[in-house]
Structures are given as structure tokens and as C-alpha cells.
Amino acid sequence: MVHRVMEWIRTNQGRVLLLVVILAALVSIDSRTADSAVTASQSTANPTGRWSPYVAGLGIGLLSCLSFVISNRPIGVSTAYAQTSGLIGRVVVGSQIDEMPYYRTVRPEIGWEWMLAVGVLLGGCISAVLSGDIRFEPAPPLWVREFGSGVAWRWLAAGMGGFLLGVGSRWAGGCTSGHGISGALQLVASSWLAVVCFFIGGVSTAFMLY
Amino acid sequence: MLSTLRSHRRIQLVAGLFIGICFGFLLQRGGVTRYEVVIGQLLLQDFTVVKIMLTAIVIGMIGVHALRSAGYATLSKKPGSVGSTVIGGLIFGVGFGLLGYCPGTMIGALGQGSLDALFGIAGMLIGTAAYAAAFPALSKSILRVGDFGQITIPELFRANPWPVVAGVGVCISVILLAVEYAGV
């Protein structure tokens, strides 16, 4: 039985039908959310120009496909941080950085991943400017409401959080984009395990903080 | 044609930049570069992050597997082990909750003017350097524990990828529907 289903799905006809079924399910979800999305965005601080999460997700899914076509690479951001720390290290301590075993596997260089990270900065800025959602905030409003306006604490927490993201993303071999989206969509086993652990750690920490 | 495009260094740098711009735009427009949205997700009150991720996974999964079947893409499988994936993932998760951004969204957050993201970026650069320093010791010990290598879920079950794609697609659709009915 399972074998027969697999045989059928192996045909192009099966694949196309499968795609149509899943897309139809998604579209039905999206039409249902049109009204609930409005209430959700109203409850946040600044809903300016925000898209339905399904539209943003659809865009990221298609962008992942495009990335495979043009560059045959998955989208992932955390490698660029390791490359940047290596580049900074090379300036500070010299070329012995390149002898370190880790930087022999992840070469400190300005390549595809690094340009991707620069692009994320530009893209975030372009989107915020176009929708009027650009605000210079030393600390997020939610943090200020909960912990007061002493921004130094927020900066300390952000720095510590960033440190753990740096260690954890390299330890696990990827981050929310590399494992969480790109690895998961390729059905890579380690990526699904990693993303579950990301959320277990994140949810526990958020519940302890708030 | 594709192989010339993919091996052309300058074109690839521009391609990386272009894909990054689109990615940053979509992250910001989807709302996930906002601290409130990420913390709302981790407190299980606002499922925007999960909705974006799962939708991207369904669409990308179908597209990338179709590209792969047609010979236009090769999978890029990250290796894993219990010692690296689970421990690293949990460390990452604690950082995720403390910072309220992830490595990609904090760059986008800086682009929208969230200045605390600068401290997150600085912390993450130090974190990757610290990991690089600890890597020789880690790679001989904990990273090897429970090694399962570069494997996909279909390979794990020795199955054709398409039924797995269908199954995961249906599961994700059901989860998204459930999230919508719960109204979060």
C-alpha cells in the first residue's frame, strides 16, 4: 500500500496534485486569517504596513527556492558572524587566526554569506523606511514597560543573549534561518532537532523573564 | 548556463546581496524584527514567528524538492549529533529568549532603528570567536556524542522524499489551521 502511494507520487502527475492540495490548504488558511490578522496587528505597538505572516512566509519560501537556483545555496545568516569575528581577529591578533582549526573550516572572508548579511541590514532598513516603521529606540517598549527605562540593563541582556546566540549557533551548526528554515525545508534531520531545541531554550527563558 | 552563473564570483556576491535584501525586507515586513513579536512567540501569545517559519518551510520544501528532482539543486545537509545539535540548540535558545531576536532578525532590527540589536551583534561576534577558541577541545569530546551525520528525514526512513514532503506538508497545514482556530 505505502509502496503503491510512493510509486504514484513518483510520477509528475502525483507531484503536481500534491502541490495543488497543499497550496489549496494554505490558501484556505490565508483567507480565514484576513480578519484575524487585522486584530492581531492592531494589538501591536506599530502595525504600519505589516504583512500577513503567510504572505511573508510565502515570500521567504520562494526566496529559498531562488537562492538554490541562482547560487545552489541555502539561506543562512550565522556563518557571516563567524567570518566577521575571524576578520576582526585577523586585524587584532594577526594572521595566526587562519591557523585556528575553526577558521580553517569556516574561512574568514567576504563571500556570499557575508553579502547576504549586509543585504538583510539593507532590506530591513528599506522595508522600515518605506512603511514608516523606522524608529530609533535604545530599548524595546515591552522591555521598558517590564523592567524600567534603565537601558544599560537591556544592553547587557542583549549582549549576553547575542553571546549565547554566537556560541549556540556555531555549536549547533546553524541558526533560525540556516537550520530553522533552510535546513527544515530540505528535511534535514539535524535541523528539525535543532529548531525544537531553539524553541525549548527560548520559551523557557522568556517564561523566566516575563 | 547555471553552472557558469554559480561559479562567477562577482555575480554570486551580488546574488547574495540581492537575496539578503529580499530576506531582510520580508523579515521586517512580516514583523519578526520586532522584539515584541519574538517575545510574544516565545511566551506563546503571538504565533507570527511560527506562522512565517512554517509557511516558508512548506513552500520552500515543495520548491526545493521539485528543483532537486529536476536536477537544478543539490541539498546542503548540515551534519548533526546529540552533543552538537541538542546542546548547541539549547544554548542558542537561551540566547534567543534573552535577546529577543535571532541572528538574522537582529540585523534587520538594526536596519529599522532598534539600537539594542547593536549589542546583540557585538555579543554574537564575541560568542562566535569564543566558540572558535573552544572548538579544538569541543570537537574531540562533546560534539562527537551521539553522532548521526548528514542525513535527511527521508534517508533516515529509507523512503522516497516525496511522501515525506506530502506528510510534512499536511502536518504543517494542520498545525497552522489549529493555530488559527486557537486565535493566537
Q: What is the pLDDT of residue A40?
A: 44
Which residues in chain A are closer than 8 Å to B52, comparing Cβ atoms? 53-54, 56-57, 60
Residue A41 has pLDDT above 60, yes or no: no
Cell of A144: 521598558
Distance from CA of A124 to the nearest CA of B (A): 4
Sequence-ordered list of residues with C-beta below 8 angstroms from that of B100, at least 6 positions apart, any chain = A140, A143, A158, A161, B35, B38, B39, B42
Which residues in chain A are closer than 8 Å to B177, comparing Cβ atoms? 25, 29
Residue A42 has pLDDT above 50, yes or no: no
pLDDT range class, residue A33, cuts 50, 70, 90? very low
* Residue B149, strand partner residues: B80
- Better-scored residue on pLDDT, A87 or A14: A87
Which residues in chain A are closer than 8 Å to B32, comparing Cβ atoms? 56
Q: What is the pLDDT of residue A24?
A: 56
Residues of chain B with pLDDT under 50: none
Distance from CA of A192 to the nearest CA of B (A): 9
Neighbours of A90 (CB within 10 A): 15
Can you tell me whether residue A100 is helix, strand or coil? Answer: coil
* CB atoms A166 and B128 under 8 Å: yes
- Alpha-carbon distance of A39 to B175, in angstroms, equals 21
Partner residue facing A100 (CB), from B17, B63, B132: B132
ipTM, interface predicted TM-score of the complex: 0.97
pLDDT range class, residue A37, cuts 50, 70, 90? very low
Which residues in chain B are closer than 8 Å to A135, comparing Cβ atoms? 112-114
- Better-scored residue on pLDDT, A49 or B152: B152
* CB atoms A199 and B31 under 8 Å: no
Size of interface A-B (CB pairs under 8 A): 591
* CB atoms B96 and A67 under 8 Å: no
Can you tell me whether residue B99 is helix, strand or coil? Answer: helix
Separation of CA A74 from chain center = 12
Residue A66: closest C-alpha in chain B: B19
Q: What is the pLDDT of residue B2?
A: 87
Distance from CA of B80 to the nearest CA of A (A): 5
Model confidence pLDDT, tens digit, residues A103-159: 999 999 999 999 999 999 999 999 999 999 999 999 999 999 999 988 999 999 999
Distance from CA of B155 to the nearest CA of A (A): 9
- Alpha-carbon distance of A6 to B177, in angstroms, equals 26
Q: What is the pLDDT of residue A28?
A: 52
Model confidence pLDDT, tens digit, residues A148-197: 988 999 999 999 999 999 999 999 999 999 999 999 999 999 999 999 99
Q: What is the pLDDT of residue A149?
A: 86
Model confidence pLDDT, tens digit, residues A63-98: 999 999 999 999 999 999 999 999 999 999 999 999
* CB atoms A164 and B98 under 8 Å: yes
Per the listing, cell 504600519 goes with: A48
